[in-house]
Amino acid sequence: EKENEERRRLKDPNKPEHKIPQFASRKQLSDAILKEAEEKIKEELKAQGKPEKIWDNIIPGKMNSFIADNSQLDSKLTLMGQFYVMDDKKTVEQVIAEKEKEFGGKINIVEFICFEVGEGLEKKTEDFAAEVAAQL
């Protein structure tokens, strides 16, 4: 059922083609694929009439978007690929790399626990009529 729902979402004609993931993991994005994506971005910028002197500012952001869009499995299934909860612009891997530089050492994740939002919470059911009857 979930797979069919995902297929319907991906076949949505209103969804821009560049947002449909072509690869499951970052490991599948070879240098050749990244180079091809960069060339495609340059063609788009040229077609939009953007001056070449600002391309160096635009291309890295578009490449990051391409990588994020095409490695969604990493962000769902691996800790290092998930966005950091305190800064959703960085992955856990990027934050760890920054902290390693800051502390001058190596950080190893020994163990972690994954929680779903709302997991384990029981919603208290309230019976207003019974509560009023008990007070009378």
pLDDT for the residue 71 = 76
Cα torsion angle, 6, 11, 12, 18, sign: positive
* C-alpha span between 101 and 32 (Å, rounded): 30
* C-alpha span between 19 and 4 (Å, rounded): 18
E-strand ranges in the chain read 83-84, 87-91
* C-alpha span between 75 and 62 (Å, rounded): 18
pLDDT for the residue 127 = 81
pTM of the model: 0.49
pLDDT for the residue 59 = 94
pLDDT beneath 50: ranges in the chain: 18
